[in-house]
Structure 1
Amino acid sequence: MNVEIIAHRGFSAIAPENTLAAFELAIASKANSIEFDIQLSADSVPVIFHDATLDRITGFSGKVREQNLSQLQKLDAGKWFSDEFSGQKIPTFAEALVILKKVDKFLYFDVKPHCEWSDSEVADFVNSLQGAEIQHKCVITSFSEQFLAQVRRVDGDLAIGHIVANLEAYKTQLSQAVAHGDNLISSQYRILLENPALIQESRSQGVDIVAWTVDDPEDMQKLIDLGITRIVTNCLIGFF
């Protein structure tokens, strides 16, 4: 069975998450795909960053959405992880594309639900994917139903995935995926281990499954034995 190994926020076990260094190391380590988080700066530039606030990663107090790009790029997004990565910046999506284009299989965009996008901001974002000629590699995932609906209106052909973190949400979002013709659920992996019947139930309705975030080799093997072929991990090493 061919398993697609998806680097969670890049190779985030050995480099600061969502940085160019983490993406480069993921590709060098032969990850098949990369997952990363995306939201907007105050001046509507898509940037790669997980949290709504900057504190944990940069030590700066404030929200990503309230800072202009010029302010965000003065911050250090690597030093918190180790001095070796001091100076890593919060990358824009455009900057990261130079590296991400090299990914073999897919780019999984986790669009943060705490960041609301206008229709024009979504259109600009989708157009940038088309302009870079990478739309065939892109999977747009989000907890935000509103954002997914906005993407569908702009480009009905982009692959869309629903992120779920508990069993109740899984059942609800599976129905949503089927109703909209979306072909993916990105599920917290323990839901699948505890409810393996969901796997066949989903696939019988044309919806495939990504399992996140799996760092225990035993759990990974259990998922593979259940037929899961798309797995998000921080660790990468030892899974090839």
Structure 2
Amino acid sequence: MTHLRALSSSLVLLGTTGLLAPMVAQAQNGALAQQRQDLQNFQVIAHRGASGHAPEHTWHAYDKAVAMGADYLELDVHMSADGHLIAIHDTSLERTTDGQGPVKEHDLSELKTLDAGSWFNAAHPKHADDAYQNARLLTLDEVIERYGQDVRYYIETKSPEDYPKLQSALVSKLEAAGLVQAGSVVIQSFSQPSLQEVHGLNPDIPLVQLLWYSPGDDGSLEEWTGVTPAPAEITDADFQAIADYAVGVGPNYQYDGQTVIDESFIKQAHANDLLVHSYTINDQASMRQLLDWGVDGLFTNFPDRLEEVLADRQETGKD
């Protein structure tokens, strides 16, 4: 994507005369169309970076994911007390840092003092590395500054009910960085209202509705937020309601070791013009199964494992 950044910079500079404004628009439209076309191919989505190898949402995990050739870096974003977008999965700090309490109750200066890496060495001794100690939490600004338009970002709005300004702040930042126009970002969420707000702010951003299927009180499957009924009961109308604002769905593949979606779910989503990006797939047998079913992308903590599966399939002529 480096060539897109150079082209955009040149056109914007020359476009100050007003003569090349149509060319700028054409280049941006071309980048967006290319992203939509690329999404029709299988996507390797690095879940919180290469988070199976290094502490999630740190430079270590992101850099490894880029080196492994992932198509998208997946980021979760919360907001600090002073309004900065922070790359962290959990609502609170305890699991992945030495801090305590909700992210939203801490200023950026406080969050930046926390150790976001040492926990990984204790939790994953086989992948431990002394270099991970004292890794710092990152802002979205820092991530964009490091990678620019050279990578694509798959961003989740986390706990949007806690951050009324999250959607507008995120979209404004992505637009200012040229990432929307460059076809460099997908936004996902479990929150349908969050995605619908983003769609209203900028309909050019591809959106993915996350889904979580698990047993309800009566033991039958239900979707966590009520966006759809159980997979076996989904109708075309249910999928069409999502297709009104999103390009795809992101369902979990299993719950507690039991498969919750199948090939028919994926085919039905496709019949309603929706992509299927399933999460979080770390074993190669499951990767192969989902690929056989026709899934369009997988979230994984181990992009290298998924790349191996894809390479093997190419060699054997399955893809």
When normalised by structure 1's length, the TM-score is 0.90
Which residue among 124, 137, 147 is the counterpart of 2:194? 147
Aligned pair count reads 237
Q: 2: CA distance between counterparts of 1:196 and 1:168?
A: 18
CA contact (8 A) 1:142 1:163 kept: yes
Q: 2: CA distance between counterparts of 1:211 and 1:112?
A: 18
Tell me by how many angstroms 1:88 deviates: 1.2
Which residue among 132, 154, 163 is the counterpart of 1:108? 154
Alpha carbons of structure 1 residues 103 and 216: separation in structure 2 relative to 1, 3 Å:
farther
Q: 1: CA distance between counterparts of 2:49 and 2:97?
A: 18
Report matched runs for 1:67-82 at 5 Å. Answer: 67-82=106-121
**Which residue is 1:18 aligned to?**
57
Q: 1: CA distance between counterparts of 2:105 and 2:138?
A: 16
**Which residue is 2:296 aligned to?**
229
The percent of aligned pairs where both chains have the same amino acid is: 27
**Which residue is 1:118 aligned to?**
164
Tell me by how many angstroms 1:99 deviates: 3.6
Higher relative contact order (CA 8 A, sep 6+): 1
**Which residue is 1:210 aligned to?**
277
**Which residue is 1:163 aligned to?**
210
**Which residue is 1:3 aligned to?**
42
Alpha carbons of structure 1 residues 183 and 214: separation in structure 2 relative to 1, 3 Å:
same
Residue type of the partner of 1:118?
A: P
Tell me by how many angstroms 1:239 deviates: 2.7
Q: 1: CA distance between counterparts of 2:158 and 2:241?
A: 19
**Which residue is 2:94 aligned to?**
55
CA contact (8 A) 1:100 1:107 kept: no
- Bigger fraction of residues in helix: 2
Per-residue CA distance 1:55-105 (angstroms, 9 max, x = gap): 11112221101101111011111111133211211100000113443555x
Please report the RMSD computed on the Cα atoms of aligned residues, expressed in angstroms: 2.2
CA contact (8 A) 2:91 2:159 kept: no
**Which residue is 2:83 aligned to?**
44
CA contact (8 A) 1:52 1:114 kept: no
SS at match of 2:207: strand
Q: 1: CA distance between counterparts of 2:299 and 2:148?
A: 19
CA contact (8 A) 1:77 1:87 kept: yes
Name which of structure 1's ranges 147-156 and 216-225 shifts more when overlaid on structure 2: 147-156
Q: 1: CA distance between counterparts of 2:305 and 2:205?
A: 32
Alpha carbons of structure 1 residues 158 and 205: separation in structure 2 relative to 1, 3 Å:
same
CA contact (8 A) 1:3 1:230 kept: yes
Q: 1: CA distance between counterparts of 2:203 and 2:196?
A: 10
Q: 1: CA distance between counterparts of 2:176 and 2:160?
A: 27
SS at match of 2:76: strand
Tell me by how many angstroms 1:232 deviates: 0.8
Which residue among 242, 249, 254 is the counterpart of 1:190? 254
Segments of 5+ residues of structure 2 without an aligned counterpart are 1-39, 122-129, 214-220, 230-237, 308-319
Tell me by how many angstroms 1:14 deviates: 1.0
Alpha carbons of structure 1 residues 138 and 53: separation in structure 2 relative to 1, 3 Å:
same
CA contact (8 A) 1:39 1:115 kept: no
CA contact (8 A) 2:96 2:119 kept: yes
Tell me by how many angstroms 1:210 deviates: 0.3
CA contact (8 A) 2:262 2:293 kept: no
When normalised by structure 2's length, the TM-score is 0.69
Tell me by how many angstroms 1:237 deviates: 2.2
Residue type of the partner of 1:222?
A: Q
Alpha carbons of structure 1 residues 115 and 12: separation in structure 2 relative to 1, 3 Å:
farther
